[in-house]
Amino acid sequence: MPIHKAKISDVKEIQKLIEISAKKGEMLSRSLSELYDNLRDYYIYQEENREQIIGTCAMHICWEDLAEIRSLVVREEYNRRGIGTKLIEACLSEAISLGIYRIFALTYKPDFFCKFGFKVVDKSALPHKIWADCIKCVKFPECDEVAVLLEV
């Protein structure tokens, strides 16, 4: 199966993949420590019989009724093949199976998330707790990402 939960052996490659987008200013970098701490959040897309991870995405639980989709990245040469869609669907499915019906993301591609039913919301509608990661961003406090929220 191309999409599955990440394993310990995937962490270093996940970090490299995230770093490609982070260097472009498209998302936050993630330290190895952070990835190991949150490994259970991550899904990967990896074709059978291939070692290279093609895409990754995480569903991070923030609170009893709120989760975040984060670190969605697909290798550029694999864009527009539905891999990002499959990764998002895996994360949403897990959130719903856990009883979490409010899922948000901070993104530069709100239209992509709107395909899944997310709505653009004012960032102030999200709890302050979610901004802990933002302090690590070079753009903080002048965040130019768009907040999107799905309420299932």
Looking at residue 27, which CATH number applies to its domain? 3.40.630.30
- 138 pLDDT tier (thresholds 50, 70, 90): low
C-alpha–C-alpha distance, residues 104 and 106, integer Å = 7
Q: Which is nearest to 42 in space by CA: 99, 107, 98, 91?
A: 91
Give the phi and the psi of residue 125 in degrees, each rounded to 5: -75, -15
Where in the sequence is the domain holding 61, given as residue range(s)?
3-151
pTM, whole model, 2 decimals? 0.90
At residue 11, the pLDDT reads: 97
Looking at the 3D structure of the chain, how many domains does it have? Answer: 1
Burial (CB count within 10 angstroms: exposed 0-12, middle 13-18, buried 19+), residue 131: middle
Lowest-pLDDT range of 4-13, 26-35, 74-83, 141-150: 141-150
For β-strands 102-107 and 66-74, DSSP reports them as: parallel
